[in-house]
Amino acid sequence: MSLFDLITKLPGVGEKRALVVKQLGIRTIEDLLTYYPYRYDDLASRLPSQTDDGQKVTFKGTISSPALLLRFGYKKSRVSFHLLVGHDNIAVSFFNQPWIKEQIELGQEMAVFGVFDAVHASLSGQKIIHADNDSLAAIYPASQSIHEKTIQQLVAHAYQQYADEIVEIVPADLRQTFRLLPRVQQIHDMHFPDSAQAAKLARRSAAFEEFFLFQMRIQLLKISSAKHQGRQINYDAVVIENFIAQLPYRLTHAQEKVIQEVLSDLKRPLHMNRLLQGDVGSGKTVVAAVAMLASISAGFQAAIMVPTEILAQQHANNLSNLYENAGLHLRVELLTSGLKAAARRQVLQDLENGEIDVIVGTHALIQPDVRFHHLGLAVIDEQHRFGVKQRATLRKQAENPDILAMTATPIPRTLAITAYGEMTISTIDELPQGRQKIITKWVKSNQTDHVFDWIKVQLAKGAQAYVVTPLIEESESLDVQNAELIYDRLKSELLPYRVSLLHGRLTNDEKQQVIDDFSNNKTQVLVTTTVIEVGVDIKNATIMVILDADRFGIAQLHQLRGRVGRGDKQSYAILVSDPKTQYGIDRMEAIAATTDGFVLAEKDLELRGPGDVIGIKQAGMPEFNVGDPIHDLKMMETAQQSAIEITSREHWDTDKNNAGLVKYLSLTMYRYKDFD
C-alpha cells in the first residue's frame, strides 16, 4: 500500500468514477487526501437571537407544527413546518426535497441547517443534521458530474485505509521551527476538524507544505538547469571597458552594478536566467548592449526580442550607433514580420552562418525556421509584454542561451518568488543624472482647448509633443478614426508647426517614416495611438498629452509618460480626462502625484487588488491549492528561504532527515513537467 496507489484501489471506485474524479485533478490516494475543502459549514447549533440575517446556521428545537407539502409545477415543491428554537417559533421551508416531509413529526427534536431570514423569522433549510458530534462539515470544490457528498465519502474511505501510510515530508527541523502539525494530523484536521481552530491550524501546516514543496521544485529546477545547460562566456574585459569608456555619457552606479552582476553570471559556467527591472528611462538598453557585446567578444551571437516593430527598429539603430561609436564593427540586423521574403531569407541564412552578430527582432525571432550559428545570449526587452510560452520558445530556440529579461514594470514581491522564482533579479534603482521630474497635470476635457494653445506656445520654444488617443471599445478601426479626428484638428490649429499621425494600420515602412520624421524634428507633433507605448526614445520630445486618460491603467499611463523626460529638458505630461468612477479619479491622482514606478506599482496593487495587476495572469502565476501567495507572502518567503537553505547543504538529498521529502519530490515531479 502506498499513498501513490491509484484511487481505483478504494472499494467502490471503478474506472468510471476514477475518470470523473480525474477531472478534479485526482489520480492517486495522495491527490485525494490533499484535495482539501475550501470551507466548512459550521453545524453547531445556535439561537436565533445570536444569528445575523442571511447567516448560515443550525437551529436545534422541537417541531411545533405538522409538515405541509406543496407541489408547484413539474418537480418543484416546498415542505414547510415550524421549529420552536428557544423561545422563537421559526418557519422552516425545504425546497425541492419532498421526501423531507416523511422525517417531520410533531413534537420531535430536530436540528436543521440553513440560511436564516431574521425579518421573517424563517429558515431556508438545506439539510437535516443527524449526527450530534460533527460540528464542522467540509465543503469541497465539486463538479457537475460529482457530488460534494461523494467526495466527502471518498476522502473518508481513503483516510481510514491509508492513514498509516502518511509519512512526514517537511523535514523535522522545519516542522519544529515553524510549529507544524504532523502530516497525518494535518490531513485529518483539514478534512475532519473538531473545531474551527483545529481547521485553521491544519490549513497553516498544509499551506506551508504546499509552498515549501513548490519552492523545493524551483530550487531543483534552478540547480539542474544551471548544471546541465550552462556554458561559460569568456568575454573580453578590455573590449567591454573600451566600449563603456566610449559611451556618450557616464553610467549610473546602478547601471554599473547590474552590469557587473550580468557579467559575472556570464563568466560562470552556469546558465544565466536574470530579470532586470528598472523604471522607464533608467537606461536598461545600454546594459543589454554591454551584455550582448560580452557574448560576441567570446565568439557567440546575441539576440534581443522586443514587442513592437518600432522598438525593434529603434534598438537596431541605437545598438549600431553605440557599437560604431566605440569603433566596433559589428553586424546588427533586424528580423521582423515586415521584412520582404528575399531579405528575410538572406538574414536567416547569414544568421545561421554566423555572419550576424546581433539580431534584433519581434516575435519573428521565435519562428521555427530561425536558426542561429552559436547563440550565447538572448535578451527579452519589455518582457511583461510577452507570454510565458513566447519566452520559453526563445529559450528553447537555440541551445538554451543565457537569458536577460528586462522590464520597467516592477515585479511585486509575490510574483518575484513565485512566477519568477527561478530567475535572479537585478534592479536599476536610479535614473541618469540631470533628469528633471516630469511635471504631470490632470485636467478635465473642457480644458482641452487650453492644452492645445499651451502646446503651441511650447512648440514656439522648440519643444515637440506626443498626443496620445486611446483605444476605443477595443475596436481598432474606431481607434484609428478617433486619432484621425484629432490629427485633422491639430494639423490646422497648430500651423505653422507640422503634425503627423501614427497608428497600427500603417505599414511598417510608413510607421518608420513617421517616427523618423518626428525623431528628426521634421514634424513637431505626433498624434498617436498606444502603438507608441513602450520603449520609444526621442529626447527632444518633452510633452506628452494623453486624451481620455482614464481609459488607461496605471501601468500603461506610466509607460506612456515615460516617453518624455528622456533628456535633461523639463518635460510635461498632461492627462485629459473626466473619470466617472472613484477608481478613475484615484488613478489620475496617483499618476499626477508621483513619477516613481515602484510607488505606482504599489498603488496599482492597492487599487486593483493583486489578481488583476498587469502581468500576474500573463506572467503565469502558478495556482495554489491551499495557500494564497499574495495573502500569505511572509509564509511563501519563509518557504523559499527554507528550500534554498536545504538545497545548499551538501548531500542534502541523501541525508536521512530529508528522506520523506526526497521521495515525495521524486514521485511527484511528473506533475510539474510543464514548468520549463
Binding site for Mg ion (CB under 5 A): 535
- Contacts with ligand ADP by CB under 6 A lie at 249-252, 255, 278, 280-286, 408, 432, 537, 539, 566
Residue 610 binds which one of ligand ADP, Mg ion, none, with CB within 5 to 8 A depending on kind? none
Closer CB to ligand ADP, 114 or 562, in the complex: 562
Closer CB to ligand ADP, 226 or 326, in the complex: 326
CA distance 617 to 622: 9
CA distance 397 to 610: 32
CB under 8 Å to 109, separation ≥6 — which residues? 60, 61, 62, 63
Residue 252 binds which one of ligand ADP, Mg ion, none, with CB within 5 to 8 A depending on kind? ligand ADP
Residue 38 binds which one of ligand ADP, Mg ion, none, with CB within 5 to 8 A depending on kind? none
Query: In the complex, what is the shortest distance from the CB of residue 537 to Mg ion, in angstroms, rounded to a whole number?
Result: 7
Closer CB to ligand ADP, 110 or 428, in the complex: 428
Place of cell 573600451: 242
DSSP assigned state of 45: B
Query: In the complex, what is the shortest distance from the CB of residue 406 to Mg ion, in angstroms, rounded to a whole number?
Result: 7
CA distance 124 to 59: 11
Query: In the complex, what is the shortest distance from the CB of residue 381 to Mg ion, in angstroms, rounded to a whole number?
Result: 6
Closer CB to ligand ADP, 48 or 432, in the complex: 432
Instruction: Quickly count: other Cβ atoms within 10 Å of residue 330's Cβ.
Output: 18
Residue 114 binds which one of ligand ADP, Mg ion, none, with CB within 5 to 8 A depending on kind? none
Query: In the complex, what is the shortest distance from the CB of residue 383 to ligand ADP, in angstroms, rounded to a whole number?
Result: 12
Query: In the complex, what is the shortest distance from the CB of residue 318 to Mg ion, in angstroms, rounded to a whole number?
Result: 10
Closer CB to ligand ADP, 111 or 322, in the complex: 322
Closer CB to Mg ion, 470 or 535, in the complex: 535
Query: In the complex, what is the shortest distance from the CB of residue 431 to ligand ADP, in angstroms, rounded to a whole number?
Result: 8
Query: In the complex, what is the shortest distance from the CB of residue 420 to ligand ADP, in angstroms, rounded to a whole number?
Result: 18
CB under 8 Å to 570, separation ≥6 — which residues? 436, 439, 542
Q: How far apart are the first and last CA of the chain?
A: 32
DSSP 632-668: THHHHHHHHHHHHHHHHSTTTTT-GGGHHHHHHHHHH
Peptide bond into 307 cis (omega under 30): no
Q: Under DSSP, is residue 446 helix (H, G, I), strand (E, B) or coil?
A: helix
For CA atoms 647, 648, 650, 655, give the dihedral sign. negative
C-alpha cell read off for 191: 478534512
Closer CB to Mg ion, 401 or 535, in the complex: 535
Residue 278 binds which one of Mg ion, ligand ADP, none, with CB within 5 to 8 A depending on kind? ligand ADP
Query: In the complex, what is the shortest distance from the CB of residue 558 to ligand ADP, in angstroms, rounded to a whole number?
Result: 11
C-alpha cell read off for 514: 513617421
CA distance 293 to 14: 62
Residue 281 binds which one of Mg ion, ligand ADP, none, with CB within 5 to 8 A depending on kind? ligand ADP
Query: In the complex, what is the shortest distance from the CB of residue 432 to ligand ADP, in angstroms, rounded to a whole number?
Result: 3
* Percentages of the chain per state (helix, strand, coil), in multiples of 5: 45, 20, 35
C-alpha cell read off for 440: 504631470
Query: In the complex, what is the shortest distance from the CB of residue 282 to Mg ion, in angstroms, rounded to a whole number?
Result: 9
Using Cβ positions, the residue closest to ligand ADP within the complex turns out to be 283
Closer CB to ligand ADP, 227 or 250, in the complex: 250
Confirm if 214 and 249 have CB atoms less than 8 A apart: no
Residue 271 binds which one of Mg ion, ligand ADP, none, with CB within 5 to 8 A depending on kind? none
CA distance 606 to 608: 6
Closer CB to Mg ion, 484 or 537, in the complex: 537
C-alpha cell read off for 673: 513537467
Query: In the complex, what is the shortest distance from the CB of residue 610 to ligand ADP, in angstroms, rounded to a whole number?
Result: 25
Confirm if 35 and 26 have CB atoms less than 8 A apart: yes
Q: Would you say how long the chain is, in residues?
A: 676
Burial classification of residue 72, based on how many CB atoms lie within 10 Å of its CB (0-12 exposed, 13-18 middle, 19 or more buried): exposed
Confirm if 585 and 577 have CB atoms less than 8 A apart: no
CA 153 from centre of chain: 36
Closer CB to ligand ADP, 12 or 248, in the complex: 248
- Letter string b/e over residues 645-672, b meaning 16 or more CB atoms within 10 A of that residue's CB: ebbeeeeeeeeeebebbbebbeebeeeb
Residue 537 binds which one of ligand ADP, Mg ion, none, with CB within 5 to 8 A depending on kind? ligand ADP
CA distance 157 to 32: 10
Residue 286 binds which one of ligand ADP, Mg ion, none, with CB within 5 to 8 A depending on kind? ligand ADP
Closer CB to ligand ADP, 280 or 590, in the complex: 280
Query: In the complex, what is the shortest distance from the CB of residue 377 to ligand ADP, in angstroms, rounded to a whole number?
Result: 17
C-alpha cell read off for 187: 490531513
Closer CB to ligand ADP, 43 or 286, in the complex: 286
Instruction: Quickly count: other Cβ atoms within 10 Å of residue 10's Cβ.
Output: 21
Query: In the complex, what is the shortest distance from the CB of residue 225 to ligand ADP, in angstroms, rounded to a whole number?
Result: 27
Closer CB to ligand ADP, 252 or 418, in the complex: 252
